[in-house]
Amino acid sequence: MAQNDPIKPEVGEEIRRLREEAKITQTGLAKYLNEVLGAKYHQTTVGRMENGDRSISLPEATVIAELLNVPVSQLADLSIPPSFERICSNYMLKIGELNNSFWSIMSHIRTSKNLASNIQDRIGKLNQNGSEVPKHIQDLVEEIPSEIDAYETMLSSVEKMLDHNNYFWHRWLSGLNSVEAQEKE
């Protein structure tokens, strides 16, 4: 599972906000990047940048800032701390991604175990009939346990990531609560 850079969503959102303010389409921005950088950008590339799904290089940021008539530093003004809503939203997105990964891995484990059971049944039937088990079936049977082990390892990693995120989320919230309590005093 790819790790998202926590800065990219903010940078992308700022690019989207400034682009829309300037009444420039994603396609228009892609064409401008093509002209200046001599590469092949598409509307979908700009969309991925704005969604935080694609990194933005310094030359790209410079060209985008130039077109939007803002300093490059404005695209990633990290001196302003993210809002509570943004932090909560990013946390919920991360938990959602981890949850989706968890269930996807569970599905792969279930599928692998079903496949192993089906293959073992077929091998049993072939053996009962006195037939030789084809090599590709033998190979499948030999690889299934390692595939299941790999998925179970991934599942364990996802569970650890969930625990890790929850631990730091609760720590952060506890810190907020203590700051609020001090401010009320």
Position 1 scores a pLDDT of 39
Q: How far is the C-alpha of 8 from the C-alpha of 77, rounded, in Å?
A: 12
Position 20 scores a pLDDT of 94
Decide which of 27, 49, 75 is a domain's last residue: 75
Decide which of 75, 103, 122 is a domain's last residue: 75
In a domain, 1, yes or no: no
In a domain, 66, yes or no: yes
Q: What is the mean pLDDT of each run of 10 residues along the chain (185 residues)?
A: 52 90 94 89 93 86 90 70 72 81 86 85 85 81 83 83 78 68 63
Burial of 29 (0-12, 13-18, 19+ CB in 10 A): buried
Position 178 scores a pLDDT of 65
Range of the domain at 64: 8-75
Q: Tell whether 66 and 151 lie within a shared domain.
A: no
User: What is the helix (H) or strand (E) element at residue 32, kind and residue range?
Assistant: helix 26-37
Position 175 scores a pLDDT of 72
Q: Tell whether 67 and 94 lie within a shared domain.
A: no
Position 6 scores a pLDDT of 46
CATH number at residue 124: 1.10.287
Domain count, the chain: 2
Position 100 scores a pLDDT of 86
Q: What is the pTM of this model?
A: 0.44
- Residue 58's CB is within 10 A of a number of other CB atoms, namely 8
Would you give the distance in Å from CA 176 to the centre of its chain?
Answer: 27
